[in-house]
Structure 1
Amino acid sequence: MPEIVAPQESGRRLTLTFQAFLATHARKWLAYAYLHTGSEDAAHEVTRAAYEQLGRVWPHALRQASVEAYAWAVLKERVTEWLYDRRQPTALTETAAFAVVTHALLRECQQQFAMLESQLGLYAAISRLPERQCDVIVLRHVIGYGDAQIAALLGVDEVTVRSYASRGKRKLAAALGIDQG
């Protein structure tokens, strides 16, 4: 993990909580940024910008109802800003994680998604899902977060996460022409 400036107005405890937060989320945040930027260098740039912004407002972040949801919003803003500044769409369709998603979805829904590997439009279909459904599918099946973690990141309960996942899968199946029986 790159050296990040710790919170400005901090004592040792704030610095430690900030560093622990970064250590906990660094790998998955980097994976999320990579999925959208399509570049390891860009993913590092985006996550570093998010870490730095979060470090500047860490005491404020700790006062939020959900630190994880607040921090996740910061990361998503940095990703969106990076894409906008470069007039570039999300790279989700082209990223190498295609195999990860297809295998994860196949394991979970073998019969319903048996045709996914032959469907090259999977990521395009995922990127066309409504934002929250797309986030849940990516966070769950590509990055590997559990429902409780996703709920904390998105600031919703686990039932809502499962609902987004279910609706997202139904829309993906319809978009890819997969009969759900």
Structure 2
Amino acid sequence: MNPPLEDSRGSHAEVSSARARAGRMALSFKAFHEHHRRLWMRIAHAQVGSAAAAEVVVTRACARLEASWSHALAQESLRQYAWMVLKEEVHRWLTERDLKPQVGDAAFLVAVQKLLMHEMRDELRVISQEIGLYTAIAALPERQYDVILLRFVLGREESEVAEYLGIEEATVRSHIRHARRSLARELNMPYKETDRQ
């Protein structure tokens, strides 16, 4: 027996509405993905050391995000959630290969030169290889490391760093100050509190 015409129209409307919602979800993911993919590739590349490896990591992270997109949209900060997923995929890739984060020497040196005070830069160029500079940065607490990566290696503004990490801009500045202090101590260099970022 055929269902009543009214019920059939109701089901058709529900199916159409569900399809429209799915289409909007797919479009919103695509827009988010296109806007952030370049930065994600830079973040992954800085950690895993090659464009090919970064492609694998970002593809995995994007697949996870797309599969849980409605959940991601329900989060307080979509960028923070995406950052967490990307970090997990970077960690997974490194763990599978028993590797540590690989930030390119040139990028790290430039980042530290920006991070540390102006008067240290020439000395830093000369001694960077001998003093375990990269080890010192890699040994920073996770949140300080994230801030340094986003702010100095990838050149993001403080407001964007704060949004990615789900913290206040003042906290970003605090992490930078603490990282500067730790690195100066680790590298046996003088440290003076400064407003420079």
TM-score (norm 1): 0.86
Larger of the two Rg values belongs to structure = 2
1:105 aligns with 2:138: no
Aligned with 1:97: secondary structure? helix
Q: 2:125 aligns with which of 113, 117, 129?
A: 117
Q: Count matched residues.
A: 171
1:174 aligns with 2:157: no
Cα offset, 1:50, TM superposition: 0.3
Cα offset, 1:123, TM superposition: 1.9
Identity across matched positions, percent:
40
User: Gaps (5+ residues) in structure 1?
Assistant: 1-7
Change (3 A) 1:26 1:12: same
Deviates more, 1:21-30 or 1:41-50: 21-30
Does the aligned pair in 2 maintain the 1:33–1:79 contact within 8 Å? yes
Does the aligned pair in 2 maintain the 1:113–1:178 contact within 8 Å? no
1:4 equivalent in structure 2: none
Mapping for residues 63-102 of structure 1, pairs under 5 Å: 63-92=74-103, 94-102=104-112
Does the aligned pair in 1 maintain the 2:111–2:152 contact within 8 Å? yes
Q: Which amino acid aligns with 2:107?
A: A
1:56 equivalent in structure 2: 67
Does the aligned pair in 2 maintain the 1:32–1:143 contact within 8 Å? yes
**Structure with a larger share of its residues in helix:** 2
RMSD: 2.0
Does the aligned pair in 1 maintain the 2:113–2:121 contact within 8 Å? no
Cα offset, 1:99, TM superposition: 4.2
1:129 aligns with 2:140: yes
Does the aligned pair in 2 maintain the 1:66–1:155 contact within 8 Å? yes
Does the aligned pair in 2 maintain the 1:102–1:117 contact within 8 Å? no
Partners of 2:20 and 2:74 in 1: CA distance: 14
Cα offset, 1:25, TM superposition: 1.5
Does the aligned pair in 2 maintain the 1:105–1:113 contact within 8 Å? no
Partners of 1:160 and 1:57 in 2: CA distance: 29
Cα offset, 1:157, TM superposition: 0.9
User: Gaps (5+ residues) in structure 2?
Assistant: 1-18, 193-197
1:39 aligns with 2:50: yes
Does the aligned pair in 2 maintain the 1:38–1:95 contact within 8 Å? no
